[in-house]
Each structure stands twice: as C-alpha cells, then as structure tokens.
Structure 1
Amino acid sequence: MSWQAWATVAVIALAMALFASEKLRIDLVALLVLATLVILGIVTPVEALSGFSNEATVTVAAMFALSLGIERSGALEPLSRWLIRIRRPWLLTLALMLAIAPLGAFVKNIALVATFLPLALRVCQRTHTPPGRVLMPMAYAAQMGGVCTLIGTSSNLLADTLAQKHGMPAFGVFEFTRMGVILAVVGILYLMLVGRWLLPRHIDAEMPEQEDIGKYVTELEVTEQSSLVGGSIADAKLGERYGVYPLELLRGEKRMWSPRSQEIAVGDVLLVRGDWEKIEEFQRRTGLRNAPDRRYAKGDDRSRVMVELMVAPASPMESRRLDETGLNWRYDAVALAIHRRGQLLRDKLSDVSLAVGDVLLVLVDDDALSNLRNDEAFIVLSEREETHRTPRKAFYAAAIMAGVVVASGLHWLPIPIAAICGAIAMAITGCFGRKDVYEGIDWKIIILLGAILPLGIAIERSGLSQELVQMGLGVVGEHGPLAALLMVYLLTALLTELMGHNPSVVLMVGIAVSVAHAMKVDPRPFVVAVAFAAATSFATPVGYPTNTMVYYAGGYRFTDFMKVGIPLIAIFCALSMWLIPQFWPF
C-alpha cells in the first residue's frame, strides 16, 4: 500500500478509538480527522469542505427543524394522553412500540424517545414496574421505524448521497419501506415473545442493601431552630431514624475531618443522600433548610413546580458545573439535588461537573416550566400535567410534515428542498419559535456529517478501498455475492457499535460498492445492507443515541443490551440476507 493508504488507516484507527472511548465529542473527533487529512495532503481544502454543502448534511439539518415542529406544536399529545391510560406493563411496551415505530419513519428518533420517556416512567411508577422492562424496547422501536424510509434516519440519507457519488441512481423515499416494515414486525414480535424474558426484572437487585441507600444527594443547612445543633451526626442516627445518610459536614468552604463525631453548629451544611421524600421529612422534623434554595431563590411567594431533569445525550451541559448551566438565570430555577447512577457523589452541588444521565431535582417557576421543557439539553422525566397547546399548530405541523413526505416521495421536489420548504412553513405558522430552530438542531451531528464525509474521499483516493476489497474477497473466496453481502453487513454492524452509525456508513459505502464491482454484480443491494446494518444498532448503549437515553433512565447494565440486542441483530442479519436479494437483485 502507498503511504497515503497507511496514513488513512492510521487516521481511521485513531478515529475509531476516540469514538469508542468517548473522551472527545464526536464532532471534535470528526474535525480532527478532517484537519489531519488536509494537513497530510490526502484531500484538498475544497474537498475537505465539500461535506458541509452535501445534500445529506443540509437535509438532516432541515429534518431536525421538522421534528422540532412536530414536538413543540403538541402534535404527539393526543397519542401520549391515550398511552398514559394503559395499566399493564406488557401492553404499555407493545403500545409504545406500535406507536413509535411508524412515527420513527418521519420524526427524529431522539425527539420521539424524549417525548415518550417521561410518559413511560410515569406509567411504570404507577404500576410498580421496573422501567427496564419498557424503555429498551421503546428505543429499539424508534430505530426500527427510522430505517423504513429514506428520511427516517441520517445514516439512510448519507448512504443515498454516497451511493449517488459512485454513479448510482438515488433511492426513493419509500424504497426501504417494504423490507423495513418486515424487519420491524419481526423485531416487535421478538421483543414481546423472547426479548421480554431477557430484560432485567429487578434493576441492581443484587447490590448490597447498605449501598442502595437512596437516590439524591443534596445540601441541608443547619438553622438556629434545628434539633441537631450541639450534637453529632453519630448521635443523631440519621439512617436509623429518618432513612437519610450523611456524606459530609461542610463548614464554610471547609470539609470537617471527622464529620460523624464533629459537633454540629448553626450554619453548617450537611451533604446527605436519600430518597427525596425521606429527605423532605428529615428536613421538616429537624429544622433544616435546603441550602441551594436559600442561596439562589428570590422568594417563596411564587408558584413553583418540582421537576426531575436528566442531562440528555450530546447535551452542551455535559462537563459543566451547575452554576454554568444557566438554570438559575435562564429559567429562574434552583437545582436542589443530584443523582448519578452507579456513583456516590461526595462533592458540593456547586462543584459537581455534570455527566450524561445525571438526574437533577429542580425547583422552577410555573411560568418558566414550558421553556425548560423545550430545552434540548435536558429531558424532563417527571413534572405536573403538561400545559395545553393550540390544536391548530399541531394540525399545521402534521400537515406540513405530510406535505414534505408526499412532495419528496412523488419526486415533485428534491428531498433537501422539500425539507427546507417544510421547515420554513413550520416557522411561518408558529410551530416553533424564531430561536427554537437553532437550539433544536443538533449541531454536533451536522458538524459530524460535514467533517466525516471527506474520509470517504480519502479512502478512495489513497487506494485503501481497493486493498480492503481484495482482503475481503480473499476471505469470501468463491462463495458468491451472498457471502460478500453478509461480510459487508456484519462489518458495518460491528463498526456501528464501535464508532456510531454515520461514520460507519462513510467508511463502508465505498468499500461495499467496490466489492460489488469486483464481483461484477449490482452495488445497490450492498449499499442497502450498509444502510440497514448501520441504522439498527442494538448491542450496546453507545451505538445509537436513543440507546444511551434509556440506558441511564432505565438503570440498565451494559450487558443487558448485549443479551437482548445481539440476538436481534442476528435475526435482522438473517432476514436481510434473504430479503435484500429479493427486493434488490444482484
């Protein structure tokens, strides 16, 4: 191989390692790849910037806006109100999958899961059902729906764009639908008949009882009227009497060396952990007050609501401290407590750097609640009943989305133009605010798409694609195109779990097309295999954003996804090997 090919291999290996480690944001990794390729002279500056004007990048940005309009207008609220009436856990799981899978073909998967996640959690709480029984099938259904149309997921659009660059005709909006629907039906049947027995029944049931000591960590200040003044934490026996467990005793900016034996004084702050109801009862009975509330709140004469917020995947609030999130000045909200799954926090709330999946207990003004719900950085897990939204805007949003699908499906307009026109129409009709669209677009995904696309150019130009094809054909031997198709599908599925669905599509489409040409068959079925393998990532919680969302909210372990997801991937792979040649002959 040439030095350019070896350099491209090194860049790909570095990118895969960084994507898998999650030490750097995905958009930063993509920009690092882009800069390295230009510096090494493997791609020109014009080629390096071509990804940002690519049809797939523009279309994905516009589809973010369309999904935002559907979500903000309340178009999904009638369905939510119907689902919340369901009492049986298995029926809720089935109903959620049947509702989300069709919607996932047209609405952004992350928006769908974020919309239905609080509803599922409320029903689970009411029926005493572990959320782990419901949330994973819901996330999988969103992926199954997304692969049913060309616009359902960004990886489908990306595969179509890259295929056209190799001289192939464009895929139709509904060209994937026949196969996608079959896979979705089989997937739902598997999750209801087999997968439900593989799902965890009791989250963390094997943990020692003394470690499972509550959910939230908060700060309580000792007042002059407190019954704890003059005594010690050991004497108070907080765990035995109140079910609240002390972690630290803070005096000013100092941590006391022996908090359990130190005499408690007025103004001291107790860092405690426990269920919020028990913390509130402990606070009332001992005369304490919530330190964050006293420090930041303006008064108690306003209508205030207690909500649980989860830090969303790819949230800009990741790695920020509480005072850097803007919750106080943007929403006049007070973070009272924090919970981090699998970790016992011992820092002051103001010193905690937030991580994806952290749950904040926040006191927010009634008037600011709707704005907080629309913040893409957080997912509201529980709150009071949602405010009523204008049915007219919901109708406009649904009609505009249908218009985009029809216009692009019947080839009246190219997909990017139809999506842009739809986004403009939603803005004019007030389906979202003037600034909402910029906040609602996940710019990390847009940067990722624009910056990672030139990697495909580097793979082709350096000759690495042909080298990989020859290696692959050496493995397949004389077993024919079906064996080569299986190799492409499995390799794409593996890369997707390691580095995400969009980078794996960029890496594999060129290779898939070259494999097809080497075997003298139509490359179309090979591109379809890449698209389906990349869009159905079930084996890890990091392979797809919706998996990450439910991983934290459902209290899953990494291996839970492997137990349920790997058999599902095997089923989809076997069905794809049968269906792809039927719908797209070699």
Structure 2
Amino acid sequence: MVVLHSDHNTCKKSCILSAIMTQIGLTLLFLGIAAILLLGNILRADIVALMLMLALGLSGILTPQEAFSGFGRQAVIIMLSAFILAEGLRRSGMTERLGTFIIKLFGAGERRLIFGVMAASAFLSLFMNNIAAASLLLPSLSGVARRMKISPSKLLMPLAFGTILGGMATLLTTTNIIVSGLLRDATGTAFTLTDFAPVGLPLTFAGIFFMVLWGRKLLPAQSPAQRHKEEEESDDLLNTYQLSERLVRAEVCASGILDGMTLENSGLREEYNLNVIAIQRGKSTLPIEAKTVLRGGDVLLIMARAEDSIPETLKDFLNVLPSGEWQQDYLSTPDMKLIEAAIAPRSPLASQTLSEIRFGHKFDVKVLAVWRRGRSIRTRLADLPLEFGDGLLIQGTEKSLRLLRTEPGLILLAESAPSTRMTVRGWLTTLIMAATLVLAVLFPEQIAEIMLSGAVMMVLIRTMSMDQAYRAIDWRSLFLVAGMLPVGVALNKTGASTMLADAILSSLGGAGHLVLLAGFVLITVALTQIINGAAAVTVIAPIAIAAAQQVGMEPRSIAMAVALASSMAFMSPLGHSVNVMVMGAGGYTFKDYARVGIPLTILLIVILLIVLPFVIPLG
C-alpha cells in the first residue's frame, strides 16, 4: 500500500508539472505570435493586445476575472483620467500660454530656441500626453521658425524628443503607469507621482543639453517646411516637395478641342492622369474649379509622372512650353496661398483617401503633394490613404485657410496658433489641475480616485462636455494597456517569468546587480525601437522584477530602470508616435533619427546606470 501511495503521489506531481509546463509553453507561444504580429506590423498593437488577452482566457491559463482584470486596474483609470485632465488644461489656455512664453523667452538664435522648445515640451509633458504636448506647440513653433529664418527640421525633432524626455520625470506616462501597476502586482507597492523625478529629471536635462550643444549639429539642414526667404516661399516649398520635376507648362491651342471646354469635361485627369494645378490667363491666375472654362491661349501648369507625360494625341490641342518662371506667379498669388499641414494624432482623416473624404470640395483646396517617411508623393493622390504624420502641401485661398483651421484632424504649420484668452473657467480648470496633482502627491494610495475626481470636476464646471471628454481619450492606448496587463498576470501565474529570469541569471553567470540592471535596460531599449513601448514593458517588467527578487535586488530599482529605458525611443521614428508625428513636417528619414538618437540613447543609458543606484539602492 505504501508503494502504491508513493507511486500515486509521483504520478500526481508529474501530471501537475506537465500541466504547468504546458501552460508556460502556451503562454510563451502566444507571446511569440504576438511579437511576430507586432514586429511585422501585421496588425495594430491594440488588436494584438486584445487577441492575446482572449487567447490567455480561452486557453484556461487565466480565469475570466484575470483575463479582463486589465480594464479595472488602477493603471487604466490613471491613464483615462490623465487624458481628460490634459484636455481640460489645453482648453483652459494655460498650456498654450506657458509653452509660447517659454519659446519666446529663449527664442533668440537657433541654440537658444532649441533649448526653449525642449524645455517647453518637456515641461508640458509632465502633465499631459506627449502627443498632446507636441500638438499644442507645433503650430506656433512653425511660425516662430519662419519669422526667425530657422529651418523647422532643426526644431521639430527636438520638440518630439523634449516631450519624451519630460515624460521620464513623471508617473503620468503610459509605460511608467504600466510598470507601476506590474510592480504593485508583484510586491504590493507602486510608484508615486514624484518617484520618477529624482532619476527622470537628470535624464531630461542631459538630453536637452545634448541636443543644444551637439545633437543640433546632426540634424538635417533643410526640410519641406523650410521657408527661409519670404519672397521665395513657394519656390522653396515646391523644390523641397520635389514638384519641379513633375511639372509641365502647356498652352491651350486656339480653336482646339479644349478651347471652350470646362475643366471637368476635359478628361485631362480621368483619361490621361494629368493634374492641372494652375491656369494662367494673361496676367491673371484663375481658380481651379470644375466649371472653369478653358480658352485658347490659357497656360496650364500640369503635374504628371514621367510615364503620364502629355501624350501625342493631346499635342494637337496643347502646346508644351519651356518651364519658365512659373513658381511664384502661378501658385502663390494674393488670392492663392501655399499651405502646409500635418495629419494630427487620432485624426479621423487617417486611413481615408482624399477622394473618400472629399477633401478638395470640403475645404476648397488642392493637395499638391504628400510628404511621407522622407519622400514626396506627388501624383495620384486622390486614392492615397492618409497616414498619421503625413505632411500635406496644399494650395488654397484665405477662405480655405480658415476652413482648414476648423478641422481638428489637421495641424497647420508655419503659422502662429490663435491665442486663447484665459476666462474664469480657464483659471478654475487650472486650479483643479493643480489641486489634483498636489493631492495625488500627498495621498499616493488614492491616486486613481483623485485623478478621476479631477477629471469629473472639469466636466462638471463645463470645461468640456462628456462627449468631448470621451474624444480626448486615446482609446487605442487604453485598450492596448488593458489587453497587455493580463500578460504580466499570466507570466507570474504560470511561472514563466521565474523560468525566464532563471535563464537570464544563469547566462550572466552570477554577475553583479549593476550588470543585471544594464542587461534589462539594453533589452528594453532595443525592443522599444521596433514595437510599442507599452507592449515591451508588459513582457519585460515581470521578468525583470522576478529576477531581482531571486538575487535579493531591490525590485523598485529594476522596475524603474525598465520603465525609463522604454522611453528612450530616439533611434527610430517607430519607437514613439510623437516621432512619427513630426517626421513628415520635418522631412526626416530613418537615418536622421538614427544619427541623432544613437548617441543620445547611449548618453542616457550611462547616466541612468550612474544615477539610479544612488536614488534607489540596488540592494
């Protein structure tokens, strides 16, 4: 009987061990599939997170309560509240005033202006989402750059980097909030609102001074947004958007088939892929309208690809002319302007084509070119799906400009943003924000309740409506975080985090705490350049915390290191949405980000490894 009982216990243990290994294997398999989907950009990060959450629940690895626990986490409530609070602060007018004041205070010369831009963006990102902070400063910054004859390519990357650096010094950054929640799950304690400041602020200052003293020399000298000479503004834009090589001048032959025909009936676009962007009749430039009647002697400025150049069949009706001095005379007149705009974050225009949204009809404009990922797209634009961060070169009137200003999905460049007058409600909103932050510092255990209360108060005093509050929330980020947080639960529950931590520790061969810290920092930084930082820390943080606990290291130190490393998204535009946002307007390429971002990242890693052990002893 004793032997049978012993065999039964052995079999039972073997079955339990097999079940555990199966769950670990499934968890790692699901993570591997998710990584492939994210790295290959096959699906959006938020849908991948939801699929991963469902897979962990349906496979039985997590209970339904555990699988959907992300939606009830404190981290998600803090994020939701932060979006609403930031929108309220923006509507109050205070952030615009502060940002513009800082830029004007330091804005005398390229070096001082870069310092002012980065200081303003870093300061604003302490309280609001990085994208929101950049969106707020971008229009006025472009106007300042034009007036001071400084290329926007010298300022827009510092603007983006400033928001990322400022986010390191506060809890109110998505990755910091996630890591704080995972730390609470593992140890029972989370980071407070000010815990990141002693380490994050030195990193912020180091990043700013690097860009001011050296990084600015690595930035490209020109961009599609560059407008150094007021009198040659349209020439610069056309050259930088590379339109010159696609433009042809042609004269309408008198008594030809096009003489007396309306533009919409000419078939030039539909049949021959020839896009008429200007019509000159005598000394006048005519508006480009469907009902415009062509006359013999009219000179047309036509944009077309080389393979779509004016065919032989049309040369009996159109006389091709030398290029001539068409830029200033044709495209920028007292009645017609060249306007630059960027597709804003969470813009409803993204993923839609110009023809689908009837862009030209809605705003009475013509889109001449799109700047995307370092190259100009100039033809067949009507069927091109727009993307976040695209720069648009637009031709329109003063009325068109006023209409474009009303579109929240666009950020107009190279103009001063209309000033927002501070009202009593604006001052009250600012007071609510200040009180919320103070109370969150004094009572860190109730930070979610305090921040949500502040958000609700802003709605109650009518800083914004409830519908506007909903629109202020970045639901993609929220679902991404809610979907990824249960991954940490699965890694801890199955023992996968412990197993992976053991593998990492054994590979390091008993190296010291600082080496372990550096290893996780490097892994996080590398992963953040190619996938969403929130997804990266959700996987890495539980493993790092488990490794720290096994070797007697302070879990808070390694958790903070992972959180801050995930913000070092400087080497690639894919590392952070704010990099994508300025890419088109600044005319940046992947190489530009690597040239500036690699030395900046190395500097910040070194400073992090020096400063962090003094603030939070490694143990």
TM-score between the two structures when normalised by the length of structure 1: 0.82
- 1:186 correspondence with 2:215: no
Within 5 A, what are the aligned runs for 1:467-478?
467-478=499-510
Aligned equivalent of 1:120, options 128, 135, 141: 141
Unaligned stretches of 5+ in structure 1? 250-255, 285-289, 291-304
**Paired residue for 1:300?**
none
What is the CA deviation profile of residues 424-468 of structure 1, one whole-angstrom value per residue up to 9, with x for unaligned ones? 222223323442211121110011111111111222233321221
Query: In 1, distance between residues paired with 2:83 and 2:317?
Result: 52
Give the counterpart letter for 2:499 in structure 1.
E
Q: Is the 8 A contact 1:73 1:432 kept in 2?
A: no
- 1:479 correspondence with 2:500: no
**Residues 1:480 and 1:551: Cα distance change in structure 2 (over 3 Å):** same
**Residues 1:7 and 1:216: Cα distance change in structure 2 (over 3 Å):** farther
SS of equivalent residue, structure 1 residue 169: coil
**Paired residue for 1:402?**
434
- 1:16 correspondence with 2:73: no
- 1:509 correspondence with 2:528: no
SS of equivalent residue, structure 2 residue 341: strand
Within 5 A, what are the aligned runs for 1:152-551?
153-203=173-223, 213-214=242-243, 229=258, 246-247=303-304, 259-263=310-314, 279-280=330-331, 308-325=340-357, 333-337=363-367, 338-341=369-372, 342-343=374-375, 345=377, 348-360=380-392, 361=394, 371-372=406-407, 375=408, 377-383=409-415, 386=418, 388-411=420-443, 414-551=446-583
- Displacement of 1:358: 2.4
**Paired residue for 2:60?**
41
Give the counterpart letter for 1:259 in structure 2.
I
- Displacement of 1:16: 2.4
- 1:556 correspondence with 2:576: no
SS of equivalent residue, structure 1 residue 356: coil
SS of equivalent residue, structure 1 residue 498: coil
Aligned equivalent of 1:79, options 87, 94, 98: 98
Give the counterpart letter for 2:573 in structure 1.
P
Q: Is the 8 A contact 1:248 1:259 kept in 2?
A: no
Q: Is the 8 A contact 1:80 1:119 kept in 2?
A: no
Give the counterpart letter for 1:473 in structure 2.
L
What is the CA deviation profile of residues 114-166 of structure 1, one whole-angstrom value per residue up to 9, with x for unaligned ones? 11112222222333322221111221111111111212x11111111111111
**Paired residue for 1:566?**
598
Q: Is the 8 A contact 1:101 1:145 kept in 2?
A: yes
**Paired residue for 2:282?**
none
**Greater Cα offset, 112-121 or 454-463:** 454-463
Query: In 1, distance between residues paired with 2:473 and 2:594?
Result: 31
**Residues 1:7 and 1:316: Cα distance change in structure 2 (over 3 Å):** farther
What is the CA deviation profile of residues 23-68 of structure 1, one whole-angstrom value per residue up to 9, with x for unaligned ones? 4222112122222223333222221111011111111011101111
Query: In 2, distance between residues paired with 1:394 and 1:226?
Result: 64
Query: In 1, distance between residues paired with 2:255 and 2:589?
Result: 41
Give the counterpart letter for 1:49 in structure 2.
F
Unaligned stretches of 5+ in structure 2? 1-19, 227-237, 260-265, 280-297
Q: Is the 8 A contact 1:216 1:339 kept in 2?
A: no
**Residues 1:569 and 1:482: Cα distance change in structure 2 (over 3 Å):** same
Q: Is the 8 A contact 2:141 2:414 kept in 1?
A: no
**Paired residue for 1:301?**
none
Query: In 2, distance between residues paired with 1:149 and 1:537?
Result: 16
Give the counterpart letter for 2:370 in structure 1.
H
Q: Is the 8 A contact 2:169 2:199 kept in 1?
A: yes
Q: Is the 8 A contact 1:320 1:353 kept in 2?
A: yes
Within 5 A, what are the aligned runs for 1:96-111?
96-111=117-132
Q: Is the 8 A contact 2:518 2:609 kept in 1?
A: yes
Query: In 1, distance between residues paired with 2:497 and 2:197?
Result: 30
Q: Is the 8 A contact 2:304 2:379 kept in 1?
A: no
Q: Is the 8 A contact 1:27 1:447 kept in 2?
A: yes
- Displacement of 1:574: 1.4
Q: Is the 8 A contact 1:135 1:550 kept in 2?
A: yes
Query: In 2, distance between residues paired with 1:11 and 1:190?
Result: 40
SS of equivalent residue, structure 2 residue 573: coil
Count of residue pairs brought into register by the alignment: 544
**Residues 1:226 and 1:451: Cα distance change in structure 2 (over 3 Å):** farther
What is the CA deviation profile of residues 294-352 of structure 1, one whole-angstrom value per residue up to 9, with x for unaligned ones? xxxxxxxxxxx9854312345443221235448689xx534521423355546554422
Q: Is the 8 A contact 2:257 2:317 kept in 1?
A: no
Query: In 1, distance between residues paired with 2:347 and 2:310?
Result: 35
What is the CA deviation profile of residues 459-506 of structure 1, one whole-angstrom value per residue up to 9, with x for unaligned ones? 223332122112211222122111111111111111212212111121
- 1:89 correspondence with 2:110: yes
**Greater Cα offset, 83-92 or 503-512:** 83-92
Between the aligned residues of both structures, percent identity stands at: 28
Give the counterpart letter for 1:247 in structure 2.
A
- 1:584 correspondence with 2:602: no
